[in-house]
Amino acid sequence: MKKIILFSASVLVLAGCQSGTPQLAKSSVDKVLKAMTLEEKVHLVIGTGMAGFSGESAVIGATKSIVPGAAGTTWPIERLGIPAIVLADGPAGLRIDPTREGDENTYYCTHFPIGTLLASTWNQDLVESVGKAMGEEVHEYGADVYLAPALNIHRNPLNGRNFEYYSEDPVVAGKTAAAYVRGVQKNDVGTSIKHFAYNNQETNRTGNNAIISPRAQREIYLKGFEITVKESQPWTVMSSYNKINGTYTSQSRDLLTTILRDEWGFKGLVMTDWFGGDNGAEQIAAGNDMLQPGTDKQYEQIMAAIKDGSLTEKELDVCVRRVLELVKRSPKVKGYAYSNKPDLKAHAAVTRQSALEGMVLLENNGVLPLKDVKNVAVFGCTSYDFIAGGTGSGNVNRAYTVSLLDGLKNAGFNVDESQKEAVLRHIADEEAAFKASLSGDFSVFFPTPRPSEFIPAASQIAASAKANDVAIITFGRNSGEFFDRSSADFELSAKERELLNKVTAAFHAQGKKVVVVLNIGGVIETASWKSIPDAVLLAWQAGQEGGNSVTDILTGVESPSGKLTMTFPVNLMDAASSANFPIDADTGIYFLNRREDIGQKDVDQTDYAEGIYVGYRWFDKKDLAVSYPFGYGLSYTTFEYSAPSVKNDGKTVTAKVTVKNTGSVAGKEAVQLYVSAPQGKLDKPVKELKAYAKTASLKPGESQELTLTFPTAELASFDEEASAWVVDAGTYSFLFGASSRDIRCTATADAAAAETPAHRVLLKK
């Protein structure tokens, strides 16, 4: 890739005025486009390359230019006043380098809670406000497009990137992403909703062929993106790495043009995921406007296709225009003088507070909130080494992480630190051993595994049970890009079980309680052990203030109001997708379109044989017992639902319900509206979520009427034969649930038959 020179927009405008050539800041996109040479056009639709990776390896974006550590930049063309704009990850906060060579300043970003926690708040206003804070950092650190949010469906508990994603349900995924986009884009910076689409596993992510029926695509895997596009107008969309029914998504015109633009009305730009796909010319023809981070090979492919006529310059111009439109609306072209000083203090408060609403109280026999507790014993390596968020491009270079130990101390507890030194030494020894074991070119991508569990001597546990009022055990799990989790990671390890059993026995013998905190990014097995401790708090990975947020919940600063956005199955194999997920297949790392031969099973293809029966849709259909159902979460108070009503005027369904706090402390309640359809031509799920809302913080005795609405057209299912969205005529039941298995009241309304045709695309080949 040729050397490029980066420059600032203000200098450009000046140069342009002198020469009379159109300048992007002042001239129309049309004029600039007309003035471009073919070479310039081809450069503009691919990025500026990635240092050290001019060929085709590596995946995470990292450029040294303009904003060091950002994922990529666009191609600048000085004579036309087209600056390079900066694209940076996402989604738990901005990912850039925290330090720069020869510069004493630091560039830390706030590590906000992971996506799954944000979705678990069921609070779209809150997500929007977190997005706004994230966007301020994007803007003030000089980035233009934030590569977030990520909203792929939690198809299986083991997907290594589930922590970045929101839910097994497309309405939760779409509403959460839309709120996030609205928040970020308030700062005049763009977002890139990703990974469009069907990126539901990391194993062979750059070559895997997802085989999915049109109905499951439309109703499950595309629906969240559709909602986000329609409700928030993201500036950009990032296509995914995988194939859909035989075609790379980034090379699928059906997906990127027919569905995204023609059917949903998307007006922005589509970019590839980093090095995604295998043919630059096909990507341009499909409407994948920009290829990131850009390679020489892609440049040659596009040029060759133009020369042999398989791609026309007119087709290329469509994409060039969209890149120009994106650059034109960016802060860079406007010459925004970013401060490099976002308000990190204010954002630390935002992350601490927002995390409270997404933590899910799974069990509580009365021990929480902690009362009359002064002395606390903490167990589990993770209590000392808290996990702020997942690994890979979804990580954030934060300045600090508050551990549970520190959070408890900050709140004034006497924390028993007698084990601290031994635990920290144990963690450091294992980390050193892991680093020493690394070899090979790609070892840089391997994240440090979680330490094995540390179990103090029986005498020490007994002494601790005597000296302290309560025990808190934290279990941690971490994962990220490149790897799916293993089946072993889903279970508690033998050592974790041993720690749980020993600590609980010792504390119970003293008449004292034990709380388990789960500092995890994805679903684990809970059925076999959840009744052993006295409470279980699912803290997720709550960002850099995690220990403070957990402490706030444990002490009752706020009542927990998070609810699960996915099912916790009894067994991993209970999930329908487990039959067709590459469980334990991934023993290494996958590059672009080739797999390193490291002994994994054949994972070239994943058959989504379960169709639309993902998550609760499956568990309901089979009437299977679960450990915790979708939508579940306890509170320190209780709520009563009354006065349900629903109206359908043919355009909008409007449902109302009154929620009353019947307990003794203040709290918020997330109400879920499910629909149960009459029997029609198609097989229907037992129920499907259509809307949700959360009350304000209700004082004991206080009530609030919630109004939940959604378009009547959303009652439709996708009929593959007709290639249309079809609403069956009949009486629909509307279920107001505290969870998918705790329906508090129902109402009914009729709907007339309706059919909305859709293109017959993305078929199985």
Q: Which residue is nearest to ligand BGC (CB)?
A: 61
Edge to edge, the sheet with strand 652-661 lists 639-648, 652-661, 703-711
Q: Angle formed by the axes of helices 296-308 and 313-329, to 10°? A: 140
**Nearest-10 Cα torsion for 304, 306, 310, 314:** 160
Kindly tell me which of 59 and 255 has the beta carbon lying closer to ligand BGC.
Answer: 59
151 in contact with ligand BGC (CB under 6 A): no
Residue 475 parent element (H or E): strand 470-476
- DSSP-based three-state secondary structure for 219: helix
Kindly tell me which of 147 and 302 has the beta carbon lying closer to ligand BGC.
Answer: 147
Q: Among 654, 632, 661, which Cα is nearest to 734's?
A: 654
HSE at residue 276, side-chain half, CA atoms within 13 A, is 32
Structure token digits, residue 670: 């997330």
Kindly tell me which of 89 and 263 has the beta carbon lying closer to ligand BGC.
Answer: 89
Give min distance, CB of 195 to ligand BGC, in A. 6
Give min distance, CB of 210 to ligand BGC, in A. 15
Give min distance, CB of 61 to ligand BGC, in A. 3
Cα–Cα distance for residue pair 619/626, rounded to 1 Å: 8
**For ligand BGC, which residue of 61, 115, 407, 582 counts as binding (CB under 6 A)?**
61
Edge to edge, the sheet with strand 754-757 lists 717-719, 724-727, 754-757
Give min distance, CB of 153 to ligand BGC, in A. 16
Q: Which one from 144, 169, 254, 273 is the annotated catalytic residue?
A: 273
Give min distance, CB of 62 to ligand BGC, in A. 7
Give min distance, CB of 194 to ligand BGC, in A. 5
**DSSP of 353-412:** HHHHHH-EEEEESS--S--S--EEEEESHHHHS---S-BGGG----S----HHHHHHHTT
109 in contact with ligand BGC (CB under 6 A): no
Judge whether 311 and 281 are in contact, CB under 8 Å.
yes
**For ligand BGC, which residue of 141, 196, 248, 274 counts as binding (CB under 6 A)?**
274
Is position 144 annotated as part of the catalytic site?
no
Strand intervals (E) in 559-681: 568-569, 590-591, 594-595, 605-607, 626-628, 639-648, 652-661, 670-676
Segment contacting ligand BGC by CB under 6 A, of 56-64, 108-116, 544-552, 630-638: 56-64
**For ligand BGC, which residue of 50, 109, 147, 542 counts as binding (CB under 6 A)?**
147
194 in contact with ligand BGC (CB under 6 A): yes
273 in contact with ligand BGC (CB under 6 A): yes
Structure token digits, residue 40: 């310039």
Give min distance, CB of 255 to ligand BGC, in A. 17
Give min distance, CB of 591 to ligand BGC, in A. 11
270 in contact with ligand BGC (CB under 6 A): no
Strand partners, 304: none
Report how many residues bind ligand BGC under the rule CB under 6 A.
11
Show Cβ contacts of residue 730 under 8 Å, excluding neighbours closer than 6 positions: 677, 678, 679, 680, 750, 751
Residue 717 parent element (H or E): strand 717-719
End-to-end CA distance of the chain: 36
**For ligand BGC, which residue of 12, 25, 44, 60 counts as binding (CB under 6 A)?**
60
Give min distance, CB of 97 to ligand BGC, in A. 13
Contacts with ligand BGC in 79-98 (CB under 6 A)? 89
Interface mask toward ligand BGC for 456-485; x: CB under 6 A? -------------------------x----
Segment contacting ligand BGC by CB under 6 A, of 58-66, 399-407, 452-460, 703-711: 58-66
Kindly tell me which of 136 and 273 has the beta carbon lying closer to ligand BGC.
Answer: 273
Judge whether 467 and 375 are in contact, CB under 8 Å.
yes
Q: Among 566, 706, 702, which Cα is nearest to 639's?
A: 702
59 in contact with ligand BGC (CB under 6 A): yes
641 in contact with ligand BGC (CB under 6 A): no
Kindly tell me which of 70 and 404 has the beta carbon lying closer to ligand BGC.
Answer: 70
Cα–Cα distance for residue pair 83/78, rounded to 1 Å: 7
Q: How many CB atoms lie within 10 A of CB 439?
A: 7
Amino acid at 715: L
Kindly tell me which of 293 and 342 has the beta carbon lying closer to ligand BGC.
Answer: 293
Kindly tell me which of 65 and 487 has the beta carbon lying closer to ligand BGC.
Answer: 65
Kindly tell me which of 72 and 476 has the beta carbon lying closer to ligand BGC.
Answer: 72
- DSSP-based three-state secondary structure for 474: strand
Cα–Cα distance for residue pair 310/286, rounded to 1 Å: 13
Cα–Cα distance for residue pair 277/298, rounded to 1 Å: 10
Segment contacting ligand BGC by CB under 6 A, of 57-65, 127-135, 360-368, 371-379: 57-65
Cα–Cα distance for residue pair 396/359, rounded to 1 Å: 20
Segment contacting ligand BGC by CB under 6 A, of 54-62, 297-305, 439-447, 468-476: 54-62
Kindly tell me which of 218 and 243 has the beta carbon lying closer to ligand BGC.
Answer: 243
Contacts with ligand BGC in 377-416 (CB under 6 A)? 393
ω before 369 within 30° of 0 (cis)?
yes
CB-count burial class (<10 Å; 0-12, 13-18, 19+) for 505: middle
Kindly tell me which of 391 and 648 has the beta carbon lying closer to ligand BGC.
Answer: 391
Structure token digits, residue 176: 């959460």
Give min distance, CB of 592 to ligand BGC, in A. 11
Segment contacting ligand BGC by CB under 6 A, of 45-53, 55-63, 500-508, 619-627: 55-63
Interface mask toward ligand BGC for 13-32; x: CB under 6 A? --------------------
Cα–Cα distance for residue pair 584/600, rounded to 1 Å: 8
Give min distance, CB of 273 to ligand BGC, in A. 5
Kindly tell me which of 147 and 237 has the beta carbon lying closer to ligand BGC.
Answer: 147
**Nearest-10 Cα torsion for 178, 181, 183, 185:** -140
Kindly tell me which of 244 and 666 has the beta carbon lying closer to ligand BGC.
Answer: 244
Contacts with ligand BGC in 679-738 (CB under 6 A)? none
Judge whether 344 and 399 are in contact, CB under 8 Å.
yes
Give min distance, CB of 96 to ligand BGC, in A. 11
Using CB under 6 A, list all residues that contact ligand BGC.
Answer: 59-61, 71, 89, 147, 194, 273-274, 393, 481
Which residues are tagged catalytic? Answer: 273
